[in-house]
Chains A and B, each alone.
Chain A
Amino acid sequence: MTITARTKDLIVQSIDGEVCVYDLVNKKCHVLNKTSALVWKLCDGHSTLEEMAAKLEQFDLPADRDIVLLALDQLEKAGLLENAAPKLALTPAASRRSLIGKLGAVAGAAALLPLIDSIAVPNAYAQASSGPGFSPPPFTTPFFTPPPFFTTPPFFGTTSAP
């Protein structure tokens, strides 16, 4: 089974070993930890699960196929794999919790397990203040009646004046 990372309509930024991905289509942002970022990078359409697992050793993780499967499951849920990627059925043994148990003896392994933090990018009105005098996002007045002094033409060079 080979898998390809999605590259279209993404802004990708590496930060101190992590990778931040802005998904322009789904308006989401994801932060991939080092392991998730490595697996995502290895989704080149050629590498097999076993080859990906072998590369985990650079992070002092065992070459465990389940760790790769966990990363792929998270990447797929985040929409960072090509649509053509086969559906990944995680075995029960590949949950994050079970992997922590399985790798308990490996120092710091839990922190190195694949992890993706995600947010929906807010729109501008989500940032509106509710400070003094704030009115919620306004509605266009349905039956707009101009105040009397609007009877003269707008004197601003804009089309947005009433």
Chain B
Amino acid sequence: MGAPEDRLTFVSHGARIGIRVSHRAILHRLPAILPPGAAITSVEPLDIVYTLSPGDLYRGSVSLSSRSTIDEALRVLESDLHFQVAQHARTALFVHAGVVGWKGGAILIPGRSLSGKTSLVAALVRAGAAYYSDEYAVIDRQGCVHPYAKPLSIRDENGGAARVPVAEIGGRAGAETLRPVAIVLANYRLGARWRPRALTQGQALLALIDNTVLAQEQPELTMETLTRVVSSATALQGLRGESGPTARQLLRWLDRDSPSQPNTL
């Protein structure tokens, strides 16, 4: 049996994950890459076990990275951890969406990768919104959104992405659980002006299902949870131009025109 010091186990949103390492020096670097809200604890059985050495990273028997530096392997591990938590979460539904908090309500920005979620989230945070996530809306059975404030993945012009703590862009992470007040489907197009159309609750539900990680595996939970989300929120869809003006326009609209009443739980 290996020594307990050679491994780390944690629970995040009910997902039970273990990482075992070949060298103890690596162990000390793991807490920095764990998903938000992860509690390091001894737990069994595990949903997922990673094995990490300076050259290789495995999830179970699946090779995720080979002949890589430890920094590269840790980057792959961090990214994969988020997705595995989303897949094995027991206490919440994970929807691929950016989330910010604004005056006691949550704004959800569903979308796949490269749809411009992070840039809009960052612009909203710079405009004063609280940061909740640039990747996953973590939604409980009551339809409320929990923080998942991982570092933002801000892309550069070359297609790379850097991990940027929210404080570095002058923002703050939200801590409260929030009721969704707006669902914003905003695809970037150069030169576009944000003139959204309102979606019905049913259309908003489809948009959320289309971005829900376990929509196929947990259909009842998905329908029940997301119906609660759309019943408390106004949904908008449209093309947007630069994120800064769109963010300010969105927040002005929420302050003045949104029929939903923000509600902190």
Contacts and interface: CB of A to CB of B under 8 A. Distances in A.
B22 A147 contact: yes
Contact of A124 (B47, B80, B200, B217): B217
Contacts, number: 177
A144 B58 CA distance: 10
Contact of B62 (A29, A123, A139): A139
Nearest to A153: B1
Contact of B206 (A19, A31, A140, A153): A31
Given A121-B215, A139-B62, A150-B51, 7 more contacts: A13-B227, A15-B201, A117-B202, A129-B135, A133-B72, A158-B45, A161-B49
A13 B112 CA distance: 25
Interface in B39-66: 44-49, 51, 53, 55-56, 58-65
Interface string A142-156: 001001111011111
Contacts of B203: 31, 117
Interface of A: 11, 13, 15-16, 18-20, 22, 24, 27, 29, 31-33, 117, 119, 121-124, 126-135, 138-141, 144, 147-150, 152-158, 160-162
Interface string B211-244: 1111111011011100100110000000000000
24 contacts: A13-B205, A15-B231, A20-B205, A20-B227, A22-B219, A29-B205, A31-B200, A121-B216, A124-B86, A126-B112, A130-B113, A131-B135, A132-B79, A133-B76, A135-B65, A135-B79, A138-B62, A138-B64, A147-B51, A148-B22, A149-B22, A152-B1, A153-B1, A158-B45
B contacts with A: majority SS: mixed
A99 B96 CA distance: 38
B4, B161, B217, B230: most-surrounded residue (chain A CB, <10 A): B161
